[in-house]
Structure 1
């Protein structure tokens, strides 16, 4: 059973990892592939709201999606969006990306190859991946206005949708580690880390929520 203190720390990470930006009209939306079809659902909803004329779904497969999405994450996202009423001609597929950096770089290359002018991108991800995706996009494709979006839901609602509380906390801890490590490796822009967020991360890591950590663990700077 997960304690109240653990939930409080998980909530701190969840709140930090979400950007809290309000969706607004952009040149294009980029939906980042993952195990979560909710990304396709919210992208379709934003399309129907008139937030963008064009969608890029990007993603190959991973160890967590190869059985559920054997044709690739982007392909399954496209199928879902079409089922939800998005015209197929409004969707481009980028089927090769296997991480967030490739999602951004390969989507950019695809749009440039089609000579599609882009000044702003509605970046759609899983809720707890908003900040990581945003920071990565700003590093790899500067000069673009980036607006983060995801399924509007609370942490308890997300846990209910996944049906595995420990896994969700593991994913929050893994994402937080990357936010702390990746700027130093050149993968994303630097993030200001509030003390309470870093402390929550360290406590959760110390409690064994480590299945999504990289081998290299960040050390808190002094």
Structure 2
């Protein structure tokens, strides 16, 4: 355990758990016309996409994502490329997967995936958005803004915060990311990037506590 993680108090974890729970939409999983695996640092998205494919929840799967500063070293050929390779190893047929390798943010993920599907002659009425656990709400709000005619269902690997932190190996980084994603949920509607989401007072208070405690490395820069 590093110095950063040692500085995380029980109160910080309590507040982070409130935000973690808020970020998840708790949608009931059901079959959809297509799935979109949203690129990130978390290869668990690809693994869970493969699991849901084998469960029969969709016939087509888009992996979308280029690179960001947090993924360039881990996925040098791009997030979508590495996600696809991992899904293939887990038994997803190659012909099921469509590759979108250029997106650099969630808006691009949605818009470019929509374009790719249309070019393939696929015009879904329902889309399963598969993401990191704490990215569900932001991906939902973005899809509702950019692709309002589809029924968007959110899914992520079913993990508790403690288990996710163990998988990532850096508690402070995870809390930074929870705070950063919540800032985007709050701010992006004003910028036209997403639809507004109700943020309960207790969640907003948790956000302020963690900001004051210095969990701010993933905030938007002006």
Query: What TM-score results when the alignment is normalised by the length of structure 2?
Result: 0.96
* Residue 117 of structure 1: how far off its partner (Å): 2.3
Is 1:127 the counterpart of 2:138? The answer is no
Report 1:171-186 matches (<5 A): 171-186=177-192
* Residue 70 of structure 1: how far off its partner (Å): 1.2
Find the aligned partners of 1:188 and 1:210 in 2 and give their Cα distance: 22
Q: Which residue of structure 2 aligns with residue 149 of structure 1?
A: 155
* Residue 73 of structure 1: how far off its partner (Å): 0.7
Is 1:97 the counterpart of 2:103? The answer is yes
Find the aligned partners of 1:151 and 1:214 in 2 and give their Cα distance: 26
Matched pairs, number: 216
Is 1:9 the counterpart of 2:30? The answer is no
Q: Which residue of structure 2 aligns with residue 170 of structure 1?
A: 176
Find the aligned partners of 2:21 and 2:192 in 1 and give their Cα distance: 24
Q: Which residue of structure 2 aligns with residue 219 of structure 1?
A: none
Q: Which residue of structure 2 aligns with residue 159 of structure 1?
A: 165
Residue among 29, 40, 54 paired with 1:48: 54
Deviation >3 Å, runs of 4+: none
More deviation, 112-121/91-100? 112-121
| Structure 1 residues 39-98: Cα deviation after superposition (integer angstroms, max 9, x where no partner) | 000000000000000100000111111121111111111100000000000000001100
Find the aligned partners of 1:137 and 1:117 in 2 and give their Cα distance: 15
* Structure 2: gaps (5+ residues): 1-5
RMSD: 0.7
